[in-house]
Structure 1
Amino acid sequence: MISRKQICQAGLITMFMGFGMQLHANAVSQNEKNIEKIVTQSFKPLMDQYYAPGMAIGIIHNGKNYEKYYGVQSREENKSVNGQTLFELGSVSKIFTAVSGTYANNQGKISFDDHLSKYLPALKSSEIDKVNLLELLTYTSGNLPLQFLDHVKTDKQILEYFKNWKAKNPSGTYREYSNPSIGFFGYLTAKSMSVPFSSLLEKTIFPQLNLKHTYVNVPEEQKINYAFGYDEKDQPVRVNPGPLSDEAYGVKSTLPDMLNFVNANLNLDTNSPAMRKVLLDTHKGYFKVADSGMTQALGWEMFSYPTTSEILQASNSKQILLGSNSVVKELSQPKSKVFHKTGSTDGFGAYILFIPEEGFGLVMLMNKKIPNIDRIKAAYSVFETLKDN
């Protein structure tokens, strides 16, 4: 028979267990409130300053994800931004182009040392054939420009453009950020796999990364979630397909999916062995950009850690984004690293930052293009504030 004393003791244990659970819940709630406050203080002023309709911010901190949504995905429909909202990633898409190429390299379908005529014999003996795939991927071909000339639109015109291209610098000596460069790399990668580039991402790469709401071509049933971007005149816009646009800036995604992707990079052992190696390979730096503190990895821009907000901002200066910058091959790798990437289309802005040593990641998605410097400054401010707390 259970005594009265035993019943009382059991009641006290249950009460204190409940009290402990409540304290834990309150602590979690307070932590979420603190992070929400820090994120809002850093990013909400940017929405107000640039009259941005909506924004999604995700934080990875102490092993947990935090999501915060602001504003609307379309002013016309007044639908709030949420976890299903699809944003254009702009040049953040280049990370997935790098992932797909690294995957093909590890599968033996390509080699980064290959020259381009191996996949397009029509380029044999052209100057572009002196460039290898790694140099295309890292923007170190010599002087491929930021964009194609306006008359280049069709596959035939793209091929003619590359056949007639003339180098200003030896390959592997200068970095010049270029959509045609990495776009052509993606095109040749998909060709080596005998599939269109969009299919390579949507049917092979995204599923292996557990990205269930990330697309090149937004399905009809998902268009209700596809945000409108707003251009400089505050008109609703979406990205217009252009030459090699899928490969250079064509991916659309949600905040939860992008947080999953950052987590996959922070926690490499949670991936399949094949994808773990792919992601690890994209973290390797290849070319150090002179006087910048930045090393070009595969898709990612890489820095030694600790770093500063000013160094990260300088990597997106006008000279680095639009100029030709001398590089040296990176033979050593820093023990601790920082990775980031910005992306924009006419109506959208995106930014990803992660620091493996701190287990920290941040994703910013916005349906307005705002200056890269402001995104970086706000993101690093969040990191520094959380680190000091």
Structure 2
Amino acid sequence: MKLVVRVKLLPTPVQAAAFEATLRACNEAATWVSATGFEEQSTANRALRDRCYATVKERWGLGAQAAQHSIKKTADAYTALRANLKAGNYGHPGGKRYERTAGKPVAFRKDAAQPYDDRMLSWQHEARTVSIWSTAGRLKGVAFTGQAEQLAVVAARRHGESDLIRQNGTWYLLATCEIAEAELNSYPVGFLGVDLGIVNIASTCDGDRYAGRRLNRHRAQDRKLRTKLQKKGTKSAKRRAMRHAGKEKRRARDINHKISKRIVAAAQRTGRGIALEDLGGIRERVRLRKPQRVTLHSWSFHQLGAFIGYKAKRCGVPVVYVNPAYTSQECSKCHHTERGNRPSRAVFTCRVCGFVEHADLNSSHNIAARGWWMWVRGAESQAPALMLIA
């Protein structure tokens, strides 16, 4: 299993300026390659390399490896774009968002991540420094830091490329590490059903609910501040908005990490698997009023599910994804399904057997039951192959 460890770099001002120039050159080159491939309707890696390699090296002064990585980054971006279009993540064909996305070439930000292989980057773990290629030449003795356990993982398990990136003025290397997987528990005694929501971020069939009221208040304040800064429109307002956006993402990621860790620990401790709803395409399927859409779209359900998936894989806990249809309307006792079973958001009352339960807890029981039947049929779900740990 692959994990990505974020290692913080501590460059001098001269080294930081060289990094900035390097990213700018690599991303300008990648944007030009993208426009060329889009115009010629040929975005495969081999075709782009044959057409653009010499020009990229000459015009932007990139080394051989850096030029090839910039070209491959462009080809990978188009591969991801086609997959997202096919999955409906940009709406349906013919829609405004779909046509706007598909009708223009991919462009790269000036500080977008740039891949580095072992020819361009070497690690000195004892000295905690790296030697890294730049457009200004090879930079030696660039210091890095991080948590001791994470640096130990990088030293022992690093495998493949690392990405140089700048986030909020800080430089990082995203190191890909190959982690040994735990032996999968092939005979779980049952499944821990997890219902993902907004008021309660996650509810399990054990009765644990991770409330999101405090977080939702923070998110409402964030939206209000973001709107205010966007209306103001000054440079200082834009800088503050960028800083605040990073803080908002870090808060959500931290909460998702904590929730996923507790859920996986509970499943591992009791010898069970984990059942989750397959929420792929939920933004396209659900029809809500505008205020509700803002609330739904601003929470990263996919990130929480992905965190649960990769943490479970590290512990050998099986994970299955079930059809979410009618889990909130089905009675977990008699399985009668009716919209009237939900007299309110938080209450479930079966119209047939009279069973009364908290709506999220009832849904989690249904998810657990569906997960067990999927496991019996051999429909194991795969956890994500690549995740980032900070």
TM-score greater than 0.5 by the shorter chain: no
Higher RCO (C-alpha 8 Å, min separation 6) = 1
**TM, length-normalised to structure 2:** 0.25
**TM, length-normalised to structure 1:** 0.25
